[in-house]
Amino acid sequence: MPAADVLVVGGGVTGTMAAIHLAENGARVTILDAARNAGSDANAGSLHVQMQSRFMRLYPNQVPAVEASLPFYRQAAETWVELDEQLGGVDLVRNGGLMLAESDEQLAFLEKKAEREAAQGLTVDILQRQDLENIAPWLGAHIVGAELCRDEGKLNPLIANKRLRARAEAAGARRETVFVEALTEAANGITVHTANGDHRADQVIVAAAWGSGELTRPFGVAIPSQAEPLHMNITEPASIALSHLVQHAERSITLKQFGSGQIVIGGGWAAKDCGPHRPPEVEVTSLLGNVALAAELVPAIGNLSVIRTWAGMNTTTDGASIIGRLPACKRVVMAVPGDAGYTLGPLVGRLAADIALGQVPNTDIERFSPGRFTT
């Protein structure tokens, strides 16, 4: 039975960051990761800070939790800026995010949203069409205006994931590919049960995103973690230059361009859920609809070839992150980001590691306590 000071369940960006912080502070760390259906490995690289209109439309009851967390999102984006420097570059560009409006009604919605976001400390502006001509001349002629959130950005997750894992390995964190089945507490520690045997540790950080609810239910919490299979595409390199993260006030879309010139098209179109042990499958209707909308908003995209399309798992809970020790089992520390998990992941992972190390986090995380799900 391998032993460690801390076992990290989930090897995406959150769990890897937690492992880095733990190992660099002297802990013996092992990451247990199923290596399938990980949102980090399928992510498109958006740094979301402003409230996403898609999320507001689909999960209206969770909007208050997201709105209250907006300063946390801004802090998370700053964490990525720090990581970009520390890791030697992850193709991060932080020129802001544009949320587009095609009508006066949509622009009025964005104006009200921007007021709420500004009240939470975000740097936002409402741009008219003439303003967009200077910074986004590639937009379709029917776009009447946009909200610009200067706190947003984009990065290349393929580079970021590779360099984060290399840093974790260099710090001494072990990684094992295995599916975690259950957690049990004993007097001298906690045991993680896997298909390949048991692992014992003093503490466990649960960074398993959509799998966190099932693992922690025996400890008296009902975390409403839900797997949400979503669709993405990437094009051949383009001659146009999209320097912003692009979204829409009503329609599901995200656009961003990597340093390679390729454009990633996503934004929450559905994929087919094939269960926890198989990756989700691409839905043809999502592929066609997603790409068609991208070409409508940015006409030059219509001349590009899509070279790859894939699906991956997003996770929804109640709109807010889950960080802290379980009330009924103090050896288990939760590290589950709220909406926009890739954006929040490094910050959430670091804060969870602080808790496991017995340090006081430098951020107020009381509102993120897993105690709110106590049954």
pLDDT band for position 3 (cuts 50, 70, 90): low
Six-digit token string for 271:
């994929």
Which of helix, strand or coil describes residue 10?
coil
Q: 121-143: per-residue pLDDT in tens?
A: 999 999 999 999 999 999 999 99
**Could you tell me where in the chain the CATH 3.50.50.60 domains are found?**
3-41+158-225+318-373
Query: What is the pLDDT at residue 276?
Result: 84
Using the predicted structure, report yes or no on whether residue 176 has a pLDDT greater than 60.
yes
Q: 188-200: per-residue pLDDT in tens?
A: 899 999 989 999 9
Using the predicted structure, report yes or no on whether residue 38 has a pLDDT greater than 50.
yes
Q: 330-365: per-residue pLDDT in tens?
A: 999 999 999 889 999 999 999 999 999 999 998 999
CATH of 92-153+227-316, one of 1.10.390.10, 3.10.180.10, 3.30.9.10, 1.20.1050.10: 3.30.9.10
Which of helix, strand or coil describes residue 185?
strand
Write 169-172 long-range contacts (CB < 8 A, 24+).
171/19, 171/20, 171/23, 171/24, 172/23, 172/28, 172/29
Return d(Cα 189, Cα 119) in angstroms, integer.
Answer: 45
Using the predicted structure, report yes or no on whether residue 161 has a pLDDT greater than 60.
yes
Of all residues in the chain, what percent carry a pLDDT higher than 90? Answer: 89
**What class does CATH assign to 3-41+158-225+318-373?**
alpha beta
Q: What is the mean pLDDT of residues 263-286?
A: 93
The alpha carbon of 132 is separated from its chain's Cα centroid by a whole number of angstroms, namely 28
Amino acid identity at 365: I
The beta strands (E) that lie in the chain are given as 3-9, 29-33, 46-47, 97-101, 124-128, 145-149, 153-154, 174-177, 180-186, 189-194, 197-206, 226-237, 245-248, 254-257, 262-266, 306-316, 322-326, 329-336
Q: 196-232: per-residue pLDDT in tens?
A: 999 999 999 999 999 999 999 999 999 999 999 999 9
Is residue 370 a contact partner of residue 334, using CB atoms and an 8 Å limit? Answer: yes
- Residue 328 phi/psi, 5° resolution? -95, 0
Question: For the chain, what is the mean pLDDT?
Answer: 95
**Could you tell me where in the chain the CATH 3.30.9.10 domains are found?**
92-153+227-316
Return d(Cα 104, Cα 109) in angstroms, integer.
Answer: 9
Query: What is the pLDDT at residue 362?
Result: 87
Query: What is the pLDDT at residue 1?
Result: 38
